[in-house]
Chains A and B, each alone.
Chain A
Amino acid sequence: MLSESSMRTPLARVRGLGSAKSGTGHFWLQRVTAVANVILTIIFLGVVIALVGKPYPAAIALLSHPLVAILMLLFVVSGAVHMRIGMQVVIEDYIHGEGAKIAAVMANTFFAIAIGAACVFALLKLSFGG
Chain B
Amino acid sequence: MAEVKPAARPLSPHLQIYRWSWTMAMSVIHRATGCALYAGTVLIAAWLVAAASGPAAFETAQWIAGSILGRLVLFGYSFALLHHMVGGLRHFVWDLGYGYEPETRMNLAKYSVFVSGGLTLLVWIVVLATR
A34 touching B49 in the complex, CB below 8 Å, given contacts A41-B81, A90-B35: no
B1 contacts the other chain (CB 8 A)? no
| Cβ–Cβ < 8 Å partners of B126 in chain A | 49
| Cβ–Cβ < 8 Å partners of B29 in chain A | none
| Distance A88 CA – B59 CA, assembled complex (angstroms) | 35
CB distance B41 to A125 under 8 Å?
A: no
User: What is the size category of the interface that chain B forms with chain A?
Assistant: 20 to 34
Q: Across the two chains, which residue of chain A brings its CB closest to B91?
A: A34
Near A by CB (< 8 A), chain B positions 8-58 give 31, 34-35, 37-38, 41-42, 44-45, 48-49, 51-52, 55, 58
Q: Tell me which of B38, B78, B89, B127 contacts A38 (CB under 8 A).
A: B89
| Cβ–Cβ < 8 Å partners of A87 in chain B | 34-35, 38
CB distance A122 to B127 under 8 Å?
A: no
The majority secondary structure among interface residues of chain A is: helix
Number of interface residues of A (CB under 8 A): 30
Binary flags per residue of A100-130, CB closer than 8 Å to B gives 1, else 0: 0000000000000001001101110110010
| Cβ–Cβ < 8 Å partners of A125 in chain B | 52
Near B by CB (< 8 A), chain A positions 53-71 give 53, 56, 59-60, 63
CB distance B85 to A37 under 8 Å?
A: yes
A2 contacts the other chain (CB 8 A)? no
B92 contacts the other chain (CB 8 A)? yes
| Distance A56 CA – B126 CA, assembled complex (angstroms) | 21
Q: Across the two chains, which residue of chain B brings its CB closest to A123?
A: B48
CB distance A122 to B131 under 8 Å?
A: no
B130 contacts the other chain (CB 8 A)? yes
User: Top 4 A-B pairs ranked by shortest CB distance?
Assistant: A122-B48, A122-B52, A125-B52, A53-B131
